[in-house]
Amino acid sequence: MKKAVFFVVLAAVMVFVSCGAKPGNTQAGSPVSAEGSLKAAPGETYYMITFHSGSDFWKAIFMNFKRAADLYGAEVKIMGTPADDASDLARILEQVAATKPAGIALAAVNADAMVEPINKIIEAGIPLVTFDSDSPNSKRLSYVAVGNYGAGRVAGEAIAQAIGGRGTISGTIVPGAENLEERWRGVRTVIAEKYPNVKIINPVNERYDEVEAAKQISALLAAHPEVNGLFGSLSSSGVGIGTALKEMGKTSRDIKVFAFDTDAGTLEMLQDGTISGTLLQGREKMGYWSFQMLYSIVHKTIAGAENWQSINPLPPTIDAGVTIVPAERAANYVEDWSNYKY
């Protein structure tokens, strides 16, 4: 009986869809084409905007942003600032907005500094979602990233277990970066809950730079030789911390290090025993779902899209997930971007 009902409903839906297709109806906001499929309008363009542009970290994200766009024939472009300058990112955001793109996916380098620039984009009628790093007090529609608090708990648990539940840990951060602050909140919470014999020394500011990370970690370890665990909370941390350890003649046998992301340098240091493990983010999900959500607003494929500036129809956050990569599996995650072009 249930199967019969299902097929009747399905048939009705198919009739509705076929009757609803209007020839030539391909403008943004009218998703059904002459062929009855979701197609982008000619020239319909979506942007991905990042800080530290050119980093390998963004490549898998943008590749899947483009993969989603290709499903509909939409155009995508990537832009960004080479550093972590929020004012420069805001300037680029303004430049992109002036071209009247269909939608924007933004890695918000600084939560507070990006509130006003993001709000201006939304008020101009351009849908915007954030990924990787958020600006939660802005009017952005959704945030697609690792659940940073949860990822921090995973990292804290891994480090605490690696040092046998006893010792002193620290690591790297960039103060003011909401995603990194949340990762460290996760570390602190799980340590406070479960590991009374583990002490935390405040992480050092590495300024999104491997050289600075190595410098700051070297100074930290010189001042606190008791440290036996380190958490590199961002992608540049792995190589920076590993470099500092190598200069001191230490390896993962001496200090347990868990990094973030699977860039080539981090994987090399994981394979040679300098660091103990790294956390892999769901980068593919960030790119794919960022695009899909923007497209669902522009083409009104989600209920409430007609009134998106007043009532947000998208989920406020999507967790892309995290996986610990140990040394013995590092080779499985090596990526070759030599032929990749943005």
Nearest residue to 219 via CA among 247, 187, 188: 247
- Does residue 36 carry a pLDDT above 80? no
Query: According to the model, what pLDDT value does residue 20 have?
Result: 36
Query: According to the model, what pLDDT value does residue 84 have?
Result: 84
Query: According to the model, what pLDDT value does residue 178 have?
Result: 82
Cβ pair 117, 131 in contact under 8 A: no
Cβ pair 209, 222 in contact under 8 A: no
- Does residue 14 carry a pLDDT above 50? no
- Does residue 6 carry a pLDDT above 90? no
Of 65 and 23, the one with more pLDDT: 65
**Residue 54 — pLDDT band, cuts 50, 70, 90?**
confident
Cβ pair 147, 124 in contact under 8 A: no
Query: According to the model, what pLDDT value does residue 342 have?
Result: 60
Query: According to the model, what pLDDT value does residue 33 have?
Result: 41
Q: Can you give the pTM of this predicted structure?
A: 0.75
- Rounded CA-CA distance 160/186 in Å is 13
Cβ pair 112, 176 in contact under 8 A: yes
Tens digit of pLDDT for each residue in 281-334? 999 999 999 999 999 999 999 999 999 999 999 999 999 999 999 999 999 988
DSSP bridge partners of 281: 322
Nearest residue to 334 via CA among 273, 274, 286, 270: 270
**Residue 337 — pLDDT band, cuts 50, 70, 90?**
confident
- Rounded CA-CA distance 280/277 in Å is 10
Q: State the average pLDDT over residues 221-247.
A: 96
Mean pLDDT of the chain: 88
In the chain the beta strands, taken as DSSP E runs, fall at: 45-51, 75-81, 103-106, 128-131, 143-145, 167-173, 198-200, 204-205, 227-232, 256-260, 277-281, 317-319, 322-326
**Residue 37 — pLDDT band, cuts 50, 70, 90?**
low
**Residue 198 — pLDDT band, cuts 50, 70, 90?**
very high
Cβ pair 204, 220 in contact under 8 A: yes
